[in-house]
């Protein structure tokens, strides 16, 4: 089981660790409410080193075109592509950020497949003939997310950070340490990921904590990130991705270049697309805000089960449980009020159901 180079530091900060595929992940610190509140109202710092990370030389562009479902070949310098990789059956295997960083492409993968299997897949697609650099053990990935995340990064790297567009990458120096800064994130608030050498990860984390203290920075575990993703309606490969697997009912067509290169698993994916959807994910919530919403709950029309709740969380912003349910396609739309298998009312809703505070900030006026 892989351990982050930040493991001992995070343990001293009170982290509770849980396995995530083949790596230990800092799942929680203070718990959902304080961690969630830190991101929505201030800023959180998280260890995302459970991800897989690779650097592919420019000559390996065609390898990534065969591995990733999105249009890698059209990715401009300094920009980041959010896409996915599917397996040979066209089922979701990894949620990918691919960054065009001058003479190489940096891949950050949240993967359902373990490290060695992903590496083997890349090699089978041609990476064995390249100088592919496996960064998974030699780097750490630190995520800074929240309403004031931009202020923390500005304090460290200057006002240039404010001009970075969403889904971009830039290189900075921090106390002599090279930092690859990706502006990205899946919380609806400002988000940045810092790719740093593993040997300097503790130093960078502590510098971030110091810079973040005036803005209320707190450590945030991945459990809270999962809740933030759901009420912001960002795809979570470890929840709905793992349980549904098919990109089409998951609504991930936007990640796929349907008319582009022949990527691994494209043929079965396109065959299912041609056959048409029978199921689709839709947001759901309780009519009674006090009632929980459990995965596995069936939703009925009359005596007929037309959906099942796939994932759910309590949203502190909304003060109720929300979730995603896999519906028969004829019932897959917002605005329905139905009953579950216990006779309790469920409403289908459009997600995200609120506007994040970060959307009220105009960085060009800060």
Q: Which two tokens stand for residue 214?
A: 């005036």
Average pLDDT score over the chain: 96
Architecture of the domain defined by 7-227? 2-Layer Sandwich (3.30)
Neighbour count for residue 342 (Cβ, 10 Å)? 10
The answer to whether the 7-227 and 236-349 domains have the same CATH topology is no
Of all residues in the chain, the percent with pLDDT exceeding 70 is 100
Assess whether pLDDT exceeds 90 at residue 245.
yes
Domain coordinates of the chain in residue numbers? 7-227, 236-349
Query: 307 has which bridge partners?
Result: 299, 327
Residue whose token pair is 């037309």 = 306
Residue 227 has pLDDT above 80, yes or no: yes
Q: What's the average model confidence in pLDDT over 263-289?
A: 96
Task: List the Cα angle 75/80/84 in 5-degree steps.
Answer: 90
Is the per-residue pLDDT at 242 higher than 80? yes
Distance between CA 170 and CA 184 in Å, rounded?
A: 12
Q: Residue 363 pLDDT > 90, yes or no?
A: no
* pLDDT tops 80 at residue 314: yes
Taking only the tens place, the pLDDT of each residue in 105-159 is 999 999 999 999 999 999 999 988 889 999 999 999 999 999 999 999 999 999 9
Q: What's the rounded Cα separation, in Å, for the pair 117 and 108?
A: 15
pLDDT band at 332 (very low <50, low <70, confident <90, very high): very high
Q: What is the pLDDT of residue 234?
A: 97
Q: Return the number of other C-beta atoms located less than 10 Å from residue 13's C-beta.
A: 15
Query: What are the beta bridge partners of residue 326?
Result: 281, 308
pTM: 0.97
pLDDT, tens digit, 9 for 90 and up, residues 167-213: 999 999 999 999 999 999 999 999 999 999 999 999 999 999 999 99
For range 66-88, the mean pLDDT? 97
Which residue from 312, 315, 145, 116 is spatially nearest to 222, judged by alpha carbons? 145
**236-349 is classed in which CATH architecture?**
Beta Barrel (2.40)
pLDDT, position 117? 97
């Amino acid at each position: 089981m892989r351990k982050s180079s930040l493991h001992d530091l995070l343990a001293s900060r009170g982290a509770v660790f849980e396995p995530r595929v083949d790596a230990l992940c800092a799942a929680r610190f203070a718990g959902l409410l304080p961690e969630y509140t830190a991101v929505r109202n201030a800023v959180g710092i998280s260890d995302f080193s459970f991800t897989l990370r690779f650097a592919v030389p420019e000559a390996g562009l065609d390898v990534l075109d065969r591995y990733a479902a999105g249009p890698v070949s059209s990715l401009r310098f300094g920009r980041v592509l959010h896409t996915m990789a599917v397996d040979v059956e066209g089922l979701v295997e990894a949620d990918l950020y691919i960054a065009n960083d001058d003479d190489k492409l940096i891949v950050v993968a949240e993967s359902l497949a373990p490290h060695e299997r992903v590496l083997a897949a890349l090699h089978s697609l041609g990476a064995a003939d390249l100088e592919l650099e496996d960064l998974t053990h030699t780097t750490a990935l630190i995520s800074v997310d929240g309403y004031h995340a931009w202020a923390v990064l500005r304090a460290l790297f200057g006002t240039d950070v404010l001009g970075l567009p969403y889904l971009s990458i830039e290189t900075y120096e921090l106390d002599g340490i090279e930092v690859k800064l990706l502006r990205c994130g899946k919380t609806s608030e400002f988000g940045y990921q810092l790719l740093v050498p593993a040997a300097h990860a503790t130093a960078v984390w502590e510098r971030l904590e110091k810079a973040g203290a005036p803005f209320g920075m707190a450590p945030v575990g991945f459990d809270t990130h999962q809740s933030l993703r759901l009420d912001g309606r960002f795809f979570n490969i470890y929840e709905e991705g793992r349980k549904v697997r098919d990109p089409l009912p998951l609504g991930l067509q936007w990640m796929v270049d349907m008319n582009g290169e022949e990527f691994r698993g494209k043929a079965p994916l396109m065959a299912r697309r041609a056959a048409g959807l029978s199921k689709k994910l839709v947001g759901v919530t309780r009519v009674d805000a006090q009632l929980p919403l459990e995965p596995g709950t069936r939703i009925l029309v009359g005596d007929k089960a037309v959906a099942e709740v796939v994932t759910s969380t309590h949203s502190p912003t909304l003060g109720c449980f929300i979730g995603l349910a896999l519906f028969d396609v004829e019932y897959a739309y917002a605005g329905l009020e139905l009953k579950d298998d216990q006779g309790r009312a469920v409403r289908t809703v459009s997600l995200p159901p609120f506007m994040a505070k970060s959307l009220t900030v105009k960085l060009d006026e800060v």
